[in-house]
Amino acid sequence: MKFKTSLTHGTLIKRYKRFLADIKLDDGSEITAHCTNSGSMKSCLEEGAEVFLSPVNDPNRKTKFTWEMIKINGNWVGVNTSNPNKLAFEAIRDKLITGLDMYESVQREVKFEESRLDLYATNNSEQCAIEVKNVTMKMDNYALFPDAKTERGLKHLNTLMRLKKEGMRTVMLYIIQRSDVNIFAPAKDIDPKYANALINAHKNGVEIFPLQVKVSPTEIIVGNILPFEL
């Protein structure tokens, strides 16, 4: 996934009210950027760290930049939670993810019965419901999800389990937007309900794909599927 415009460089002053971040740009000016990440952003917040922002050409929006990434310990970590869905769509469409490379059609935000699926992929022999989550939290060499309690995430797991019982292939696709980890796990200490639900979902046939991606100021590149530990 390539960024459509050149990104703007700066340093993080502070993040606050969940959706706002004050940034000092290289020219010395200070701006407020939109932060799409509603979670705690634990392990990817560091005041004074380098950041990149995408400019927004929308006269009706108060914030003229969206926060895309932050440099932590020499590595770029993607913090824009809207990017994983775009990346997943492109990667499945272009057959870049091993194990999800057999579909002839893929659609975003598809209404299915009473649910809305992030991605819905099909071929001549099967249908596949895919939920996509953004992962930025790190502990030791683990990528962990979620970084805050998530009732919405729990609902998505229950939807996948229901669809699996109805005969559909179901996948939890975790997009890990950092390169300094090598295994995925649920964050049991933060949200034990979600962790237990993921264990149950996996036992009932929901597949887990932890996809690590390489984040840079020009693009986000599909990497490897990491092992996971439940």
Give domain limits for the chain: 8-78, 83-225
Q: How far apart are CA 180 and CA 57, in angstroms?
A: 33
Per-residue pLDDT, 115: 74
Per-residue pLDDT, 14: 97
Per-residue pLDDT, 59: 84
Predicted TM-score (pTM) of the model is 0.94
| Cis-peptide, bond into residue 192, ω within 30° of zero | no
Per-residue pLDDT, 39: 87
pLDDT by position in tens, the chain (length 230)? 999 999 999 999 999 999 999 999 999 999 999 999 988 999 999 999 999 999 998 888 889 999 999 999 999 999 999 999 999 999 999 999 999 999 999 999 888 767 789 999 999 999 999 999 999 999 999 999 999 999 999 999 999 999 999 999 999 999 999 999 999 999 999 999 999 999 999 999 999 999 999 999 999 999 999 999 99
Neighbouring-strand partners of residue 207: 171
Q: How far apart are CA 149 and CA 42, in angstroms?
A: 13
Burial class (CB in 10 A: 0-12, 13-18, 19+), 138: buried
Residue 135: name the closest of 187, 98, 170, 89 by CA. Answer: 187
Structurally, at CATH architecture level, domain 83-225 sits in 3-Layer(aba) Sandwich (3.40)
Token pair, residue 194, equals 């979600």
Helix H, strand E, coil C: the string for the chain is CECCCCCEEEEEEEEECCCEEEEEECCCCEEEEECCCCCCCCCCCCCCCEEEEEECCCCCCCCCEEEEEEEECCEEEECCCCHHHHHHHHHHHCCCCCCCCCCCEEEEEEEECCEEEEEEEECCCCEEEEEEEEECEEECCEEEECCCCCHHHHHHHHHHHHHHHCCCEEEEEEEECCCCCCEEEECCCCCHHHHHHHHHHHHCCCEEEEEEEEECCCEEEEEEECCECC
Structurally, at CATH architecture level, domain 8-78 sits in Beta Barrel (2.40)
Per-residue pLDDT, 57: 85
**Can 8-78 and 83-225 be said to share one CATH topology?**
no
Token pair, residue 30, equals 């200070």
Per-residue pLDDT, 22: 97
Per-residue pLDDT, 221: 96
